[in-house]
Structure formats: C-alpha cells, structure tokens
Structure 1
Amino acid sequence: MQPVEGSDKAEILKNAAAHVAKAASSGSKIIVLPEYFNSPFGSQYLPEYAETLLPSPPKQDEAPTFYALSTIAAENKVYLIGGSIPEFNPQTKKHYNTSLIFDPEGNLLAAYRKAHLFDVDIPGRVTYYESEYLDSGNKLGLVDLPDYGKIAVAICYDIRFPELATIATRKGAFALIYPSAFPIATGSIHWRLLAQARALDNQLYVVLCGPARDTRGTLVAWGHSLVVDPMAQVVVEAEEKETIVEWELDPNEIEGTRKSIPVSAQRRFDIYPDVSAGTIQFEDPKLEEP
C-alpha cells in the first residue's frame, strides 16, 4: 500500500484501515504499509507521534497504532506488516523506528527495530543524521507466517546492507520486505537498483513499500512502491501517487530461478566465510527490551 502521509493520526489510521480492507477484498493475504506511515515524514514530528510499546502489552492510550493494526489485521483476516512507527525509548529519551507484524487473528508476530541508521551527507542532495534522535535495534527481523513460510522485515536504509538479506535468505525467507520512505534525492537513483540487487543476490522476492509523495513534508518521499521477482525483474511498480500495488508471490518462481542459476549450491565457504554462520540474534515473536 502507498498511502498519502497526513498529520491527523486518527485520520491516518482510518485511511490505512480503508486501504487494507480494499486490498483484502481483492484477495491480498499479506499487506504492507510504509515506513512512518502513522506520522508526517521528518524528525521534528517524532515526539508528538511516537508511541510507547513497553512494557508489553502496551497501554491503549500510549499505543493507539498498535491496537489499530491488530484490529485491522483481525477484521480483514490478513497478515499485516505495519510499516513502521516511531517508538519512544524511555531509557534514552530517543526513539526506535519500529515495524509491527500481526497475524490474521490480530496477534503480534514480531516487532523489528531498524538496525542501520541513515547518517548521510550527499553534497547538493541530502544531509540527514538519524542517530541524533533514533536508537538502533540489534536483532534481525525474520518472521514466520504459518500459512506461507518465513519473510524478512527490515526498514529503509537497512536495504543497503546485503549481509542482513543474505542471512535471512539462508535462514529460509522467501521474501525480503522493506517498509521505506526514501527521499527523492536517493530514491531517484538507488530505489530500483537496491531492490533488484537484493533480489539478484538472493533469488527471492523483494518488496519496497513507500508512502505517496507529499511535497508539503520536510523530506519529500520518492513513492514508487514495487515488487521485484527472483530473477531481479521489477514486475510491478507504482508512480508517486496514493495507490495499492498487488502481486502474487509464487514459490515456484523462486525454485525455478535457483534451479536455473544455482548460485546457492555453488558457494565456496571453503575459501570465504558464511555470514549466516555463528550466533545471530533474531526478534522474538513479542515485544521485549532490545
């Protein structure tokens, strides 16, 4: 889903519910919202729109988006990857960028906190330092959807780090899902390229879900939500306007691609290390202290 950003949280959640219901009515079973979907795009909005998720379960008045997502998933009988929301960290007084994933009964399957923070300075394009106001997560988001298999959930800048995607793939993920809000400055040059690179590396589906473009924001989002198939082809892509993007993720496409180009069977761990070996921390299917 690629909804328009807004400033009224209640209206944002109502709009999200309507879009999920529309997608579900057309047969969608796994639905994705964009990064920071419940707030305007910009660091100055975090204190107002952030929610407190711990201790778990959170209080309803401190986490309205949490309960709205749970209700939306249950009412539509879908797996809902709730984009991401700003989560207040009482210990540091900063925030996490957190994705909440719910099952068709409205139960929380996992909460993933963005691991890599967007600290960049591209002259003439964009300067942004997320670490000034965000804390980073320290676990990988590998989520088991009982009806389908495993997906990996990461957020925006995380897509630039291939190790995360490689580990998730070797642990059985059939899709890499990135709620994202790339600004135009980087989206215009890297959005498609990164999605195709991760799909090409791992021979699976990659989903990038961003908000519709709103020129009133501090950072203007690129839009262009898309799906890339296991052969690294962009099979569907939105423009910048509010819309719903749909595609069937076919496991036979993954199997066929890996059979035709068997890179996973031809890796040489005798001459280079396996990044998926050793101790790796994954998010538990519940909210907990990082």
Structure 2
Amino acid sequence: MFKLRLVLRAAGEAGPAPSAEAGRGGGCPGLRSTHTWCGIIVCGEGLRRGLRLVSAPAPADPNARADPIAAVGARTSPRARSPRTRRPGPGNPGSLFAAAFRLALIQLQVSSIKSENLARACGLVREAARQGAKVVSLPECFNSPYGTKYFPEYAEKIPGESTQKLSEVAKECSVYLIGGSIPEEDAGKLYNTCAVFGPDGTLLVKYRKLHLFDIDIPGKITFHESKTLTPGDSFSTFDTPYCRVGLGICYDMRFAELAQIYAQRGCQLLVYPAAFNMTTGPAHWELLQRGRAVDNQLYVATASPARDEQASYVAWGHSTVVSPWGEVVAKAGAEETVVYSDIDLKKLAEIRQQIPIFSQKRSDLYAVEAKKP
C-alpha cells in the first residue's frame, strides 16, 4: 500500500510532458483503452512508484459497435478529436458533452449463490434502463459475499462468467455499465476489480482497487483485505457522450488525492462501488462523498450492496449521489433498490464558474501531481 503526498513546487517549474499509448487487450469483447504511464510521489524513502492512467474514449455513436482493431496504436491529437470526445479540463466543464443524463445505482441484495446474484443484477440493470438510465452501476462485490475467505472461492478471470453477463446486458440495454466489483484472479494474484462496459458490450476499462481495506477499530471491526488481495496500480476513466467518469472502489474514497487527480483529468462524475460497514458507514459514508464532491466540484456516486444482517460482513447500504454543491440529491435506505439521479452538467458548470477554485489554486506553492517516471 502507498500514500500520495503534496508536492511543493517552485513557480514556473515544469514536469515532464505526458505521453499516450493506445492498446488493446483480451476481454469480452474487444478491450479498448488508452494507457498513460505516470509516477506518483511516495512518502517514506523518496521512491517513485509507477502508476498507469487508463482511459477509454466514448464511441461517437453509443449504439454502434466500435471497431477494436481501429483503436490499436491510434494516437488522437486534441485538434483531431471529435467534439463529443475532446477532453474537458476542470476549467472547461463538459461544454462539449450532453447537458444531462440519468444515473442509476443498483443496491443489490447479495447472496452466496453466484448465479442468483448475476441473474438479479442483470434484471435490475434492465429495470434501470427501462427507467431511462444511461449510466448504471452495480455495488462492490456484487457477485459474491464480501470477505477475505470468499475472495479466493469466487474469484474469476476477466473475461469470465460474470463479466460475460455484464457485457451481454450492457449491449442488450444499450447502457454504460459500471460492473461494481468482483474478485479477479490474474497470474496467481487476486484483485478487487471493476469492469466497465459500453452500450455495445465492449469492455472499456478495468479498474483494480488501489487502497486495500486494512483497519483495526478495537471492539468494532478488524479487516485486512491485504491477506488475500493485491492492490492495483492504475487510475481508470472512461468517456460517455455525457461526461468523463472516474472510478474508485470503497476505501479509495478516503484518499482525496485520487479524486483530485481525476478532477485534473476532466472527470465530472466519480463512481465508487463500495461496501462500508455498520461502524464506518454511519460515521463517514456521507461525509466522505460530500467532501470529495465539494473539493473537486463534481458529482460523486456510491453503489453499495443492500444490508444483510445475517451476513458475516454487514454492509451499510445507503447508495448515494452527491452534487458538486455537496447536496445529497438521491439516497437509498438499507434494502435492495435502484437509486436514480438526473445528473445536471449545466449546474456543475455554473458552480465551477461561480466559485472558480481551479483557476485560484496556488500552483506556485503546492500541487497534487501524477508524473511520468
């Protein structure tokens, strides 16, 4: 596990220019992504740890199947980008994207039977699509119980059974589907992984939880994901016709630097599939979301499993959407449900214009940076 820290930088000091490399990986079907290698300053011994920024551009027509071969080796300059996919920055909040869209968060009741979890999840994705949702998110560990003893038992390759189902239902419903997270097995290691699919069923990005949930609150809860899981080493964003979306998983939400880097990369919505518990949930769940939203003037959404009092790990529930103003605009209770929120990007733009924090930052004194090694 690593920590990010603020980097003090003199006025006019420039870092290395970022580079972009497009690639294609295996997946269900046709992984398309763009990889930018960068470094993050690590506290402690002054070492640098390389992190990869993974982002995927949105297809010009979300209902048309993208050609995965055409993406291989492609490098698109800002001048050549289409208006729908040209990257917005914090000071240009989405003027080239649609003004509003409906987001759905599925608060799934997770059981110990994987096939039932997959069937229920796909059914609720269909329900969300019928209600007009264009972007849909499942919760953390939606296909299995949450716990270190369950991760090895339920782990899958990607592509695998769960991601194939997600690909199929995303295409069937023509939605952007954030696949919560599943235990992923790769090269003998286990990860807590979120796979995102486009309206054509293409795997857009894969995000592995960066910060593992290792805590010890005496008399309350002790949990160590690191006993079985390996942390990821890359950021992930993806573009839709509506906005750019940044991904985190649960404990990642506590690390403000991650959200700040996503804001620097032009994200207007952060989605955290998450399973806070009955100790941290009441204390910090809403507080953290509102903090990330206000600090970065963007929407923050969390998708939790529904609460099961009989489970070995009891999730808090309360899937939530918070506006850039820090308002809770949609919130579930503890039971299985679908939470809807109409994401108003015009409001986001107005807030950023009225309180222009991005242009007022003292970059001559401090910075949160992602640098190429």
Name the TM-score, length of structure 2 as normaliser: 0.70
Is the contact made by 1:42 and 1:217 (CA closer than 8 Å) also made in structure 2?
no
- Counterpart code for 2:111: G
Q: Which residue of 2 aligns with 1:166?
A: 260
Q: Which residue of 2 aligns with 1:190?
A: 284
Q: In structure 2, what is the Cα distance between the partners aligned to 1:144 and 1:153?
A: 12
- Does residue 278 of the first structure (1) align with residue 371 of the second (2)? yes
The structure whose residues are more often strand, as a share, is 2
Q: In structure 2, what is the Cα distance between the partners aligned to 1:215 and 1:90?
A: 35
Q: 1:76 aligns with which of 173, 181, 190?
A: 173
Q: 1:24 aligns with which of 129, 138, 147?
A: 129
Which stretch shows the higher mean deviation, 6-15 or 154-163? Answer: 6-15
Bigger relative CO (Cα 8 Å, ≥ 6 apart): 2
> Which runs of no fewer than 5 residues in structure 1 stay unpaired?
281-290
- Does residue 254 of the first structure (1) align with residue 330 of the second (2)? no
Q: Which residue of 1 aligns with 2:109?
A: 4
Deviation, 1:105, is: 0.5
Q: In structure 2, what is the Cα distance between the partners aligned to 1:270 and 1:41?
A: 44
Q: Which residue of 2 aligns with 1:90?
A: 187
The 3 A distance-change label for structure 1 pair 277 and 82 is: closer
1:244-266 CA distance string (max 9 Å, x none): 00001111111111111111110
Q: Which residue of 2 aligns with 1:13?
A: 118
- Is the partner of 1:115 in helix, strand or coil? coil
1:189-246 CA distance string (max 9 Å, x none): 0000000000010001000110000112111000000000010111111000000000
Q: 1:209 aligns with which of 286, 303, 309?
A: 303
Q: In structure 2, what is the Cα distance between the partners aligned to 1:277 and 1:4?
A: 37
Runs ≥4 in structure 1, deviation > 4 angstroms? none
Q: In structure 1, what is the Cα distance between the partners aligned to 2:372 and 2:292?
A: 23
- Does residue 116 of the first structure (1) align with residue 211 of the second (2)? yes
Deviation, 1:41, is: 1.7
For the aligned residue pairs, the C-alpha RMSD in angstroms reads 1.1
Q: In structure 2, what is the Cα distance between the partners aligned to 1:237 and 1:200?
A: 17
The 3 A distance-change label for structure 1 pair 173 and 108 is: same
Q: Which residue of 2 aligns with 1:267?
A: 361
Deviation, 1:172, is: 0.5
Q: In structure 2, what is the Cα distance between the partners aligned to 1:268 and 1:90?
A: 43
- Is the partner of 1:104 in helix, strand or coil? coil
Q: Which residue of 2 aligns with 1:232?
A: 326
- Does residue 176 of the first structure (1) align with residue 270 of the second (2)? yes
Q: In structure 2, what is the Cα distance between the partners aligned to 1:260 and 1:50?
A: 47
Is the contact made by 2:209 and 2:252 (CA closer than 8 Å) also made in structure 1?
yes
1:17-47 CA distance string (max 9 Å, x none): 1101111001000000000000012111112
- Counterpart code for 2:259: A
Q: Which residue of 2 aligns with 1:136?
A: 231
Deviation, 1:90, is: 2.8
Q: Which residue of 1 aligns with 2:338?
A: 244
Q: In structure 2, what is the Cα distance between the partners aligned to 1:266 and 1:41?
A: 42
Q: In structure 2, what is the Cα distance between the partners aligned to 1:225 and 1:78?
A: 20
Deviation, 1:134, is: 0.3
Q: In structure 1, what is the Cα distance between the partners aligned to 2:370 and 2:223?
A: 33
The number of residues matched between the two structures is: 268
Q: Which residue of 2 aligns with 1:100?
A: 195
- Does residue 67 of the first structure (1) align with residue 160 of the second (2)? no
